[in-house]
Structure 1
Amino acid sequence: MNKPIHLEEGQDVTVKDRNFVTALSRGLELLRAFGAGSEYLGNAELSSRTGIPRPTVSRLTYTLKQLGYLEHNERLEKYRLGAGVLALGYRYLASMGIRDIARPHLQRLADATDCAVALGTADRLSMTYIEVCQARGPLVMRLETGSRIPMATTAIGRAWLCGIPEERRHHVMDDMRRQDPDNWPAIEQAIQKALDDYANYGFCLSEGDWERDISAVATPLVLEEGSEVMAINCGGSSLRLSHRILVENLGPRLKDVVEQIKRSLEPPRLG
């Protein structure tokens, strides 16, 4: 029996799939191994993180270095992400016109509420911020574009789960259960509460679930009749954002912002 290669939520491909390029998938897995607090990684660390044999890792890192996707520090004998990855990231962001359309709406909400407001998209079991707008006052949430935060414990992650089709959500939740079986009962309960909140309010909440001193509301941004699902959050210090403020103030404002963005995306009417 062939061992499945896990790609993303709900998608498994076996090594017998004639259309699946294993070498390419392994190279991409190496690039994914770098993250916050992991600027430099050696071949042994990359092998440990990805499960790819070290001799194969050595060949892949050499190739990725030659292509500009990795840089090698001879003194440390380790690698870090190169300019090629950054270029790809900027091309991806530049291709997403939704950022340009959403930015002014997000910034107005951030200024009006003195909160951080972000647009995010899913990446496996995390959410990646593709646009962040900050208010001018002192804020606790100093996350930037490109930041990755967990899906299960954050308002924006739960909102994204609420926005996707039920079948896909079940696949994602199965992945969460396999990744963290010990905490799964609490995670499942929190997601179910988020689904209930979304049904009742039209938005989700996270009150100290991700970071003890951070509270936020979030709602999905469903585009092109569900073919693309993102999410937007609005949050800040838990000391300032009580449950009442989240439910009666920030949540309704955030829903209005989502509707404004959707209207901005509508083609102009003729005649």
Structure 2
Amino acid sequence: MGRQRHALSPTPDEADPSQDRRFVTALARGLVLLRCFGPADRWLAHQALARRSGLPQATVSRLTFTLTSLGYLRHRAATGEYALSPAVLSLGFSVLSNFEIGRLARPFMETLAEDTQAAISLGVRHGTSVVYVAHCRSTARLILGLDVGTRLPFAETAMGRAMWCASAPGMRALVAQRLRAEDPARWPEREAGLRRAEADHAARGYVVSASEWEQDIAAIGVGVDLGDGREPLSLTVGGPAARLRGALLHEHFAPALVRTGREIVAAIQAGDWED
């Protein structure tokens, strides 16, 4: 592991973009504020936005006023809370609905969902998170209640770890830099989890997470590398940890997941698509 430490140092081409004179800090801060809203959040108070974004309260006040004026946030004056408006949601879902990779992958994901009676997800990286661009549920009653647009942490999930293992060293270095800067205290634990994922991937061809992001939820993941230089996606099987374990997980679900990942790559490389 010691010989690999150099991979965590970014190359000059991967320097912090915020240091570039073309970088618009105000725009970046506005987007940071919008990303404070998670799947379970309807309304957030000013103090919560400041805490989650790490921005000064005065800056949050200016940003919320601007975003509300432009129609991207709604303001509830009685409580001082804010919510995402349909305007910002439509931006995200219009992109996701036209994401051709998800369209081409869906038939394979549906087959895998029925085969495993679990939840199948395809995701991409966004900053230090992963975002679902396609999601299929089986007909089983006990499945994950997540959907397209769901945002998950990178380092603690099978989806993020699979992306990490499929990424080039330079991209790993950039993600590591951002994870460390985001929460220095948690970085050693996160780094250890990513290193374990590397070992699992080398030995098995897939990665695992068990109750690390959400209690009693487990998942396995594989990277989906299209081979054209872009960042890999990730394909996962997820469900209750009590079910996704042992021989069922490693001897049945995992081979099916790896096979499906290869089928998706072949379908995308053979298809006529744009992302």
TM-score, normalization by structure 1? 0.85
Query: Hey, what's the Cα distance between the residues in 2 that align with 1:57 and 1:187?
Result: 29
3-state DSSP of counterpart to 1:122: strand
Query: Hey, what's the Cα distance between the residues in 2 that align with 1:268 and 1:29?
Result: 35
Q: Pick the aligned partner of 1:13 from 14, 17, 40.
A: 17
Q: Pick the aligned partner of 2:205 from 202, 205, 214.
A: 202
- Identify if the C-alpha distance between structure 1 residues 76 and 118 changes in structure 2 by more than 3 Å, giving closer, same or farther: same
3-state DSSP of counterpart to 1:259: helix
Structure-to-structure mapping, 1:136-147, within 5 angstroms: 136-147=139-150
Deviation at 1:214, TM superposition (A): 2.1
8 A contact 2:163–2:234 mirrored in 1:
yes
Deviation at 1:11, TM superposition (A): 5.2
Query: Is 1:255 aligned with 2:270?
Result: no
- Identify if the C-alpha distance between structure 1 residues 97 and 143 changes in structure 2 by more than 3 Å, giving closer, same or farther: same
Partner amino acid, structure 1, of 2:166:
G
Deviation at 1:93, TM superposition (A): 0.6
Partner of 2:130: 127
Deviation at 1:117, TM superposition (A): 0.6
Query: Is 1:31 aligned with 2:37?
Result: no
3-state DSSP of counterpart to 1:210: coil
Deviation at 1:83, TM superposition (A): 1.3
Partner amino acid, structure 1, of 2:17:
V
State the structure with bigger RCO (CA 8 A, min sep 6), 1 or 2. Answer: 2
Report the aligned-residue RMSD: 2.3
Deviation at 1:212, TM superposition (A): 4.0
- Identify if the C-alpha distance between structure 1 residues 177 and 26 changes in structure 2 by more than 3 Å, giving closer, same or farther: closer
Query: Hey, what's the Cα distance between the residues in 1 that align with 2:88 and 2:96?
Result: 12
- Identify if the C-alpha distance between structure 1 residues 215 and 35 changes in structure 2 by more than 3 Å, giving closer, same or farther: closer
Identity percentage over the alignment? Answer: 37
Q: Pick the aligned partner of 1:219 from 217, 222, 244.
A: 222
Structure-to-structure mapping, 1:239-254, within 5 angstroms: 239-254=242-257
Partner amino acid, structure 2, of 1:233:
T
Query: Hey, what's the Cα distance between the residues in 2 that align with 1:76 and 1:251?
Result: 48
8 A contact 1:67–1:84 mirrored in 2:
no
More strand by share: 1
5+ residue gaps, structure 1, are 1-9
3-state DSSP of counterpart to 1:218: strand
8 A contact 2:197–2:207 mirrored in 1:
yes
Deviation at 1:131, TM superposition (A): 1.3
8 A contact 2:165–2:201 mirrored in 1:
yes
- Identify if the C-alpha distance between structure 1 residues 183 and 90 changes in structure 2 by more than 3 Å, giving closer, same or farther: closer
5+ residue gaps, structure 2, are 1-13
Larger deviation, residues 47-56 vs 80-89: 47-56
3-state DSSP of counterpart to 1:217: strand
Partner of 1:3: none
Deviation at 1:137, TM superposition (A): 1.2
Q: Pick the aligned partner of 1:70 from 51, 73, 94.
A: 73
Larger deviation, residues 82-91 vs 183-192: 183-192
Larger deviation, residues 159-168 vs 148-157: 148-157
Query: Hey, what's the Cα distance between the residues in 2 that align with 1:207 and 1:37?
Result: 21
Partner amino acid, structure 2, of 1:221:
V
Query: Hey, what's the Cα distance between the residues in 2 that align with 1:80 and 1:180?
Result: 26
Partner amino acid, structure 1, of 2:190:
I
Query: Aligned pairs, how many?
Result: 259
3-state DSSP of counterpart to 2:79: coil
